[in-house]
Chain A
Amino acid sequence: MSKNLRIIPKIDIKNFNLVKGVHLEGLRVLGDPKDFIKHYYDSGADEIIYHDVVASLYGRNQLKELVSRTANNIFLPITVGGGISSIDSVQSMLASGADRIFANTAFVRNPKLINETVKYFGSSTIVASIETMYRNDDYYCSIDFGREETQIKLEKWLAKIQEEGVGEIIITSIDHDGTGKGFDLKLAERISKRIYIPYIINGGFGKLSHFDEVLNCCEPSGIAIGSLLHYGKKTNNLFSNNEEGNKDFINKNKKYFNFGELDLRKIKDYLKNKVSIRVI
């Protein structure tokens, strides 16, 4: 079975707004997620990842309404996470229109929940998310969207969640998130040696040649992209006008916000002769 690659816009949500940070920090309000998602749907996204980035911290999830509205109009698989803490919270998210669920904090705090949810919803519905950064000569897992570092080493946790039966893993490099400097290849290589289930690489994409780097060393099943898509030229007019939106900051095109003119069509066009990929 030939492997195929999905390109997945990652939509980080805080208080109903699309936000994006660097190293998962300094979240900027960009605008109404609906508008961005519509654009990504039309230009060929293979799936959508929704992430309520403050849900674990506040113990809630505001995504249900947004997911419902999206599922009404957009017939793409939607993977939702943030604040998932029980069988019930998974079910209510699925009932709102999510197709798959991911969790990080809840799985780390209560590893029994992994197998409980897998047994109930099947491994294809349950995705584990790992947010990791390199320090003291090793990768360690973080929780609460990077706010809390744990002593859990990457490889150990990777083995555990695969053992518990999740269907796929989303791996975020905190060090590379939002920077556009390329994927964390050292991380990707270590992952690919220890993983036997599909995984999505997230964090660092900034230009087309970054795909070649990562595809040369590993076989991810998906690549999640945030900043590059959100800050693309075609989404510029979608930026929020409301006062919450930090428009001045964005318009200044600071160091990490200069992502040029790449969009999903150009990305797919570049990839179509290299890997098995859906082109619309």
Chain B
Amino acid sequence: MYDVAIINYEMGNLFSVNSACKKVGLSSIITDNEKIILTSKSIILPGVGAFSQAMQNIKKKKLNSVLLKFIKTQRPIVGICLGMQLFFERSNELGGSDGLGLIKGEVVSIGKKFFKQNKEKLNIGWSSIHFKKENNLLKNCTNQGQMYFIHSFFAIQKIKKLLLQLLKLIIIFFVVQFDIVISNVFNFILKKVELKV
């Protein structure tokens, strides 16, 4: 049984995510195998890709039903970047596409909201990150608050209460100490899930 199954839908920076997991001592595997996914303690839905293409790939591999089955076990699922966006009902990227619908809300372009020129749509570079509530997500990071952002979309959650209790919505773009953040995230969620597996 693996600590983390990293979902392989033929997209995304699978290698970096796997390296970070390994570095912090998590047993992880990159997989699209239903049995392995359903017996893992937690899963990561990685990112990097276009929303509609990602959904196409997920459906083609029938991973959407596997993900829903997994969530019924009440074990945690972490979405990184596009992976997180896919949790939502819909995205307006490239003409629009439906998502997994695990969280009420939609993913929209940052263009009109943040930039003077609507055509400009990419937020890229290192910026500080601020939390509304104190948490341990950046514990032990020496460069607290400095995150590498690269995205053209952001998610708007419609209702504050998540549909699924244990579904942890974690947004990770890139972090210099990605490994430490991964470690913090999983220290937190695996502790909670230990008894339920």
- B-binding residues in A (CB < 8 A): 1, 3-6, 46-47, 68, 71-72, 75-77, 91, 94-100, 118-125, 162, 167-168, 196-198, 221-222, 276-278, 280
Chain B minimum-CB-distance residue to A126: B50
**A-facing residues in B176-192 (Cβ within 8 Å):** 176-179
Q: Please report whether the interface of chain B is mostly helix, strand, loop or mixed according to DSSP.
A: mixed
Confirm or deny: B117 has a beta carbon within 8 angstroms of a beta carbon on chain A. Answer: yes
The answer to whether A6 and B16 have CB atoms under 8 Å apart is no
Whether B119 sits at the interface, judged by CB under 8 Å, is yes
Q: Which of B14, B49, B117, B179 contacts A75 (CB 8 A)?
A: B179
Known: A122-B50, A124-B122. Contact between A46 and B148, CB under 8 A?
yes
A6 to B122, CA, bound (A): 14
**What residues of A have a CB within 8 angstroms of the CB of B92 in the complex?**
none
Q: A46-B148, A119-B94 are in contact. Are A97 and B124 (CB under 8 A)?
A: no
Distance (whole angstroms) from the CB of A165 to the closest CB of chain B:
9
Nearest CB in chain B to that of A91: its residue:
B10
Residues of B near A98 (CB, < 8 A) are: 13
Assess whether B79 is interfacial by the CB under 8 Å rule: no
A-B contact list, 22 entries, CB within 8 Å: A1-B114, A46-B126, A68-B15, A75-B20, A75-B176, A96-B15, A99-B174, A119-B94, A121-B53, A122-B51, A122-B93, A122-B152, A124-B152, A167-B150, A167-B152, A196-B119, A197-B121, A198-B124, A221-B124, A277-B126, A278-B126, A280-B176
A94 engages B13 (CB within 8 Å):
yes
Contacts of A124 in B (CB 8 A): 122, 124, 150-152
B155 contacts which chain A residues (CB < 8 A)? none
Question: Are B150 and A75 in contact (CB-based, < 8 A)?
Answer: no
Which of B82, B119, B146, B152 has a CB less than 8 Å from the CB of A278? B146
List the B residue with the shortest CB-CB distance to A100: B150
Q: Chain B residues near A99: list those with CB within 8 A.
A: 13, 16, 48, 150, 174
Asked if B48 and A94 make an inter-chain contact with CB atoms under 8 angstroms apart, the answer reads yes
